[in-house]
A and B are shown apart, each in its own frame.
Chain A
């Protein structure tokens, strides 16, 4: 990561800020399942949000999978101040689709959006994933970390070179796996207890080792502990691996310095929103924030 590319990432931005109209908001997963009885928390609901692309927002060709948008519904009061970052799940045929999970106040308020509601969003932001059409590529998704890989796999010129290994805690039916290309093999693995998690990490290691031996490319997105596990294994087996970080963001445009992370080759912390969110595993220190 030489300095000049970092600067280019800061200055050369084709992103814009626009008001979008909500076309559809759809809950995924079994309607009947009461979220209150989920083994993993009070509300784990997952949603697909379709937004009508306004004039001037980059379309199908104007983004790279792994990039994200900042989104703030117009109706939000000043109580919820910041916009929230979401990976671009799909950007096709004039529709921007996001896939999100309710984890807090903002995402809960988003789950109450209705068709016709207006949201402000800016993007596409950040640096997306590497794309090497000929290289065997392993996608490692943890939970909601699936979102950017839907776009990645759909945009990939040779999805048959891809394989998705997907770890999740909520039921697999919560995730819109039907949006993924048919040609891509998918392995989903649910973890509801510590033993299952240990098995999952063993499985992860086996696959990372295999792709390292094949000179493959590994891309990972998911919660912090998951990324830390992937990073450790990738370093151990010298696997070419990229990680997409989910640091807390206030501005998304590189202005506030609230989202930074330490790297191995820069003296100052780097901004995850503009210089990431995707980093090579050996370049980045996954510090404190869980």
Chain B
């Protein structure tokens, strides 16, 4: 079967991408597999200025998952473009920049600068920063704010597709999804991490210095599937599904509920060749299931 997927002008040779923050700047994984065998690479969230991130400890293992409060440590968008992007095989595999800012102006200039870079195939907008001007509520939790940010990036992105990455930490994810669509999003990606915490009963301390962090890994797959299922029925945009994917079967579960492509996140920490293995396992599993086209399989859940 032809594994290629095309959505909003973004051409992927297969639907297996890597998730932002779990695949570094891509180069870290070059020793463990052929980067060009992936559908796409989403790099660590980039901000305009470099960011130091949160104090340690900033990761903790939890049952079937992990918590992180990295706090968006990154080298800043300029160093990324100068030092990392040239090392990536962007001519053969789409490199997607993940953007992070805390006000609309910053989002706009980040989007504009990154969209101008030849090696950047698409922009993924991470709207989980608290908007200080709006009283600290997360951009991703307020439909109006989500639409504003999306519009600001879309207006500066030229021909590059804009992916808006949604947070599951909301009462109704379809409301924010619709707002992002109204703002001009080309593609939606869901889900980002779930808000959570872990404590140590002996030291009586939280396991993260930041107390609260983002939960990811297989533990959140049911939530991710539910979100993709709901949004795919409510909004007429292609969806990239993620959350807890750790096998080719998990990939197909997401596609069955309506995703066009997926991202492998925390599973990259189980072994650094995980995304490559999942991409390689996919054709055999599709064969076994008798699937002959994405069009036939996508969203074909018998519910």
Q: Which residues of A contact B (CB under 8 A)?
A: 7, 10-11, 13-17, 72, 78-83, 120, 122, 247-248, 250-261, 267-269, 274, 287-289
Contacts and interface: CB of A to CB of B under 8 A. Distances in A.
B130 interface: no
B29 to A, nearest CB: 7
18 contacts: A14-B31, A15-B31, A79-B63, A79-B64, A81-B66, A122-B32, A122-B272, A247-B56, A255-B44, A257-B58, A257-B70, A258-B58, A258-B70, A259-B59, A260-B73, A268-B51, A274-B28, A289-B57
Interface string B177-217: 00000000000000000000000000000000100000001
A254 B31 CA distance: 12
Contacts, number: 116
B61 interface: yes
A256 B21 contact: yes
Given A79-B64, A81-B61, A81-B65, A253 B24 contact: yes
Contacts of B51: 268
Interface in B7-58: 21-24, 27-32, 44, 50-53, 55-58
A111 to B, nearest CB: 18
A83 B61 CA distance: 11
Contacts of A259: 59
Given A257-B53, A257-B73, A248 B271 contact: no
A80 B169 CA distance: 25
Contacts of B61: 80-82, 250
B70 A256 contact: yes
Interface residues of B, number: 43
B57 A248 contact: yes
B66 A253 contact: no
Interface in B233-268: 246, 266, 268
A287 B271 contact: no
Mostly helix, strand, loop or mixed at chain B's interface?
A: loop
A104 B64 CA distance: 16
Given A13-B30, A17-B272, A268-B73, 10 more contacts: A82-B66, A122-B272, A253-B28, A255-B268, A255-B269, A256-B70, A257-B70, A258-B68, A261-B56, A288-B55
Contacts of B68: 256, 258
A251 B27 contact: no
B24 A255 contact: yes
A250 B269 contact: yes
A260 B56 CA distance: 7
B218 A287 contact: no
Given A78-B218, A268-B50, A269-B73, A83 B269 contact: yes
B22 A78 contact: no
Contacts of A247: 56
Contacts of B23: 255
A8 B70 CA distance: 23
3 nearest A-B residue pairs (beta carbon): A258-B59, A255-B24, A78-B218
A69 to B, nearest CB: 12
A17 B56 contact: no
Contacts of B55: 287-288
A211 B159 CA distance: 64
Contacts of B303: none
B289 interface: no
Given A255-B22, A258-B59, A268 B52 contact: yes
B66 to A, nearest CB: 6
A81 B64 contact: yes
Interface string B269-301: 111110000000000000000000000000000
B118 interface: no
Given A250-B66, A253-B272, A256-B70, A10 B28 contact: yes
B53 A269 contact: yes
A17 B65 contact: no
B59 A256 contact: yes
A289 B56 contact: yes
B31 A13 contact: yes
A251 B57 contact: no
A122 B33 CA distance: 12
B102 interface: no
A61 to B, nearest CB: 18
Nearest to A84: B61
Given A78-B218, A257-B73, A258-B70, A83 B52 contact: no
Given A257-B70, A268-B75, A11 B27 contact: yes
B87 interface: yes
A175 B114 CA distance: 54
